[in-house]
Structure 1
């Protein structure tokens, strides 16, 4: 039984395999020739490996950034990192997490089939992490690791992963210029908030991507060049502040600290370039393949894909969002030190992926001002909300890491605090959440039908 569970978890938590199988199913439902099915499946599989490989290069190149930052400021505290906290939690909650994820996937497909929210969540590691968070909180409220916890946890996760892409879709249409893909990440609540901030306080006529570059500096229009130069400045400053002794003994294995900084900046740009190649492969294969699923299983379904899928649409907004988010996170850290509370150290990877994406969402609705305001507000959420989730994580609250993204933090805090009122309150809260989402969907359907009839 355990081997079967591990096999299923390995499939659904590996995005390349999961999305490759989805593409295979979609092409088969369209009755494509065997050669076309094989071609589409392999290209989708490889495309996701390229995408995740590029994201891995980005993350790895940011690790020295984080080390130099902590050393330069001499700070210690809790670092929000989904990967780290889940690795700790799975040792105790592994089986429950796996079964919650399985039930959650079924709930997601059913809700996509029978409600207006036609989003199939395909980011495997995010599903695993949400399942883990749900298991930790439910068991920490006093529920036993049995069938009730698994079914309730799956219902909660499946509903959450269906509705959060819906929150982001109006902004995704502006970002991508279409309606073919959705956002399948665990920062969706923050991204939608950033989009609203841009809409309310920004100016969409002045996009980050329209920044005027003098003719003599036209080479900066190439994203690879501009990203390399910007990150080189940042890395060199950090290396100089940290000093050659720390960099060369702790990070670079003896390589000159300035050369090491330049190499990491170039590696970061290379990771971004790889991500772009992966995005092109995926969009070229998964969207046509998904038409089969949309036609046969879930009419009008859209694949909800991982956050790097939007990076090519606004690379300037991505960098602006990252830097603004990290600066706000750093200022928040100093605020916590002054208050004498637990200190949340800004996680560089989290601020890059979530802060950068928030910048893209803010730019889509509010231009440059929207990118700055949107990423700043998102940063405040991911900087301060970890303080509120720590008390509801049971034995994990003393860990050196915690959950980082808004879609863990906001639902986790709400669900965990419901636990203070007993198991009945948790059950009622989860069922109520699903019912509200279903009613909301049908209310939107009714509004659309009424509007169509009125126009007719």
Structure 2
């Protein structure tokens, strides 16, 4: 039994297999020929594995950059990391987390079928992270056994359906009408960025319309421009680290000349981004047609909610602007926390790249270049303040030196943790009741069966 549960957990944690299963179901529902079912199923799987490989290259190269910055500028504190806190929690809450994951996925499909929240959340590893957070917080409030699993599964399934809907009008602007949704638990930060962009970006030109003279036209190649920008990042961090302690810097550079290491790492980072783009194109080529089968036969009007990196090719320049602006916001947030006497939240390069880049894309969609910069900057502040506010909640659960990095984890963790501390289990029941009302109310307010908010409007 344990082996079977472990097998199911591993399947549900893998977005590649989830996408493949959904694509398979959709193609079968469309009565597609067997050979096209095979290729249409493998396409999203291979595409996501390619995306994950590219993301792995990016993460591997961001780690030494973070260490160079910490050493070069003498920064110490807590670095938010979803994987780290999850690995600690799994040792204590493994069965509860896996059970919440399964129940949450099934309820997400149920809500998509019977409510107007037609969004199917396909980013399995983020569902796993959220299941871990929910099991920890609910357990601390005093829930146990099947009740903990049912409540946690409901919260996961409900947020998986609701969070893509909250900002779907913004997402449609990003994709120019392609019917995909945001399936990533940094979503509230992206929607905030889009809202900020709509307020500050009037008449600001799109990031992708930058006027570049002929001699600089090579910068339109996003792989080259990304590589050059990241090389500059690495060189600045390397110079600061060398000036402080050259021997430590050489150790961080794995024995290589630090400056050669910096240049190579910056260029390798750009290769990772290029692999991500290639994987995204492969996913979209097969997943969206397969979803027509899901929408037509199984879950009418269903919309896939996909990982944040899937949106990178829609505005490649905004990716870099968003990353840089979010990182600056994170640095300012760290300084404010230091002055206020709080725990220093060191800007994690991974959340600031993936979440900051996506915030830049959403800010650009409503406010052009100004929206991309200011919106992503606001996201960067959230990535500093929310983990700091979540830290005491997790500290009571025994996770004192690590915290979740993305915005939705912070918002839900703080909300549930503070309610549980102040008014006990009744606070959790109140949140469950509110989410249940949100899910069913649109069915009574309109006879439409279309996915809620899946309408592109001028913002």
Matched, 1:289 2:286: no
Alpha-carbon distance, 1:397 to partner: 5.5
Alpha-carbon distance, 1:393 to partner: 2.2
CA distance in 1, matches of 2:427, 2:216: 61
CA distance in 1, matches of 2:438, 2:380: 28
The residue number in structure 1 matching 2:73 is 73
Alpha-carbon distance, 1:103 to partner: 0.8
Unaligned runs of 5+ residues in structure 2 are 452-459
Alpha-carbon distance, 1:443 to partner: 3.2
CA distance in 2, matches of 1:425, 1:114: 27
Describe how 1:263-412 pairs up with structure 2 within 5 A.
Answer: 263-393=264-394, 395-396=396-397, 398-412=399-413
The residue number in structure 1 matching 2:147 is 148
Matched, 1:427 2:426: no
Two-structure CA RMSD over aligned residues (Å): 1.7
CA distance in 2, matches of 1:305, 1:56: 18
Q: Are the aligned partners of 2:116 and 2:449 in contact in 1 as well (CA < 8 Å)?
A: no
Q: Structure 1's 444 and 72: CA in aligned 2 closer, same or farther, altered over 3 A?
A: farther
Q: Secondary structure at the match of 2:304?
A: strand
The residue number in structure 2 matching 1:51 is 51
After superposition, the C-alpha distances for 1:229-256 in whole angstroms (9 at most, x for unaligned) are 111111111111111422221x222111
The residue number in structure 2 matching 1:98 is 98
CA distance in 2, matches of 1:220, 1:428: 52
Q: Are the aligned partners of 1:355 and 1:375 in contact in 2 as well (CA < 8 Å)?
A: yes
Q: Structure 1's 262 and 150: CA in aligned 2 closer, same or farther, altered over 3 A?
A: same
The residue number in structure 1 matching 2:439 is 437
Alpha-carbon distance, 1:24 to partner: 1.1
Q: Secondary structure at the match of 2:31?
A: coil
CA distance in 1, matches of 2:90, 2:447: 40
Q: Structure 1's 204 and 65: CA in aligned 2 closer, same or farther, altered over 3 A?
A: farther
Unaligned runs of 5+ residues in structure 1 are 450-456
The residue number in structure 1 matching 2:163 is 164
The residue number in structure 2 matching 1:454 is none
CA distance in 1, matches of 2:219, 2:72: 30
After superposition, the C-alpha distances for 1:59-107 in whole angstroms (9 at most, x for unaligned) are 1111111101111122222111111111111110110001011111111
Q: Structure 1's 391 and 248: CA in aligned 2 closer, same or farther, altered over 3 A?
A: same
CA distance in 2, matches of 1:72, 1:187: 29
The residue number in structure 1 matching 2:214 is 215
Scaled by the length of structure 1, the TM-score of the pair is 0.95
Which of residues 233, 246, 249 in structure 1 aligns to 2:248? 246
Q: Structure 1's 442 and 192: CA in aligned 2 closer, same or farther, altered over 3 A?
A: farther
Q: Secondary structure at the match of 2:354?
A: helix
The residue number in structure 1 matching 2:27 is 27
Moved more, 235-244 or 124-133: 235-244
Aligned residues: 447
Q: Structure 1's 394 and 332: CA in aligned 2 closer, same or farther, altered over 3 A?
A: closer
Alpha-carbon distance, 1:389 to partner: 1.4
Scaled by the length of structure 2, the TM-score of the pair is 0.94
CA distance in 2, matches of 1:81, 1:448: 37
